[in-house]
Each structure stands twice: as structure tokens, then as C-alpha cells.
Amino acid sequence: MTDPSPVPASGSMPETPGARLDAARATLAALEDEGRRLQRLGLELPLARCHQQARFWRFATAMLSLDGGAALPGGRAWPAARR
């Protein structure tokens, strides 16, 4: 079986924010498909591991979905946090 994940095994993510979000969403979709397959087969331990990975990728997808105020109206950048 081939790895359906668009994220390379090296663990590196794409450089642009949009590409990172696309990769995270694709990985999550692949894990959800795999979870349904494992559930149909009744494989409990692999299903639990798949659920654990999907939980991480849901979090990662949510974090990557945040705009973070990168660009404010008028093209201004968000000020850096003061120390």
C-alpha cells in the first residue's frame, strides 16, 4: 500500500501558507478515509492510531487556517509583539 499523504515522509511541509493548508487538509481527508476503511475491517488498534493522527491533523489544519492578522486593511503588517 502506498502512503496517501501529500506531506513527504521527511516531515517537511510546503513553504507557502496556502500550500501548507492544502497539504494538511489532504492529509486529514486521507486519514478520515483510512479510518472508515479500518472501521469496516474491525481493526481496533490501527483505527485508534489513525484517530490519534487525525486528531493532530485537525488541530494542525485549524492552526494553519488562522489568518493571524498577517495583513491589515491598507496593506499594513501586524505589529510585532512587544517583549
CA distances from 50 to 17, 31, 56, 58, 62 (A): 25, 6, 10, 12, 18
Residue 78, judged by CB atoms within 10 A of its CB (0-12, 13-18, 19+), counts as exposed
Structural domain total, the chain? 1
Q: Is residue 41 part of a domain?
A: yes
State if pTM tops 0.75: no
pLDDT higher than 80, residue 58: yes
Q: Is residue 9 part of a domain?
A: no
pLDDT band, residue 37 (cuts 50/70/90):
very high
- Residues 44-65 have a mean pLDDT of 95
User: Which pLDDT does position 69 carry in this prediction?
Assistant: 44
Parent domain of 41: 17-65
Q: Is residue 45 part of a domain?
A: yes
Q: Is residue 82 part of a domain?
A: no
User: Which pLDDT does position 73 carry in this prediction?
Assistant: 52
Q: Is residue 81 part of a domain?
A: no
**15-29 pLDDT, tens per residue?**
888 899 999 999 999
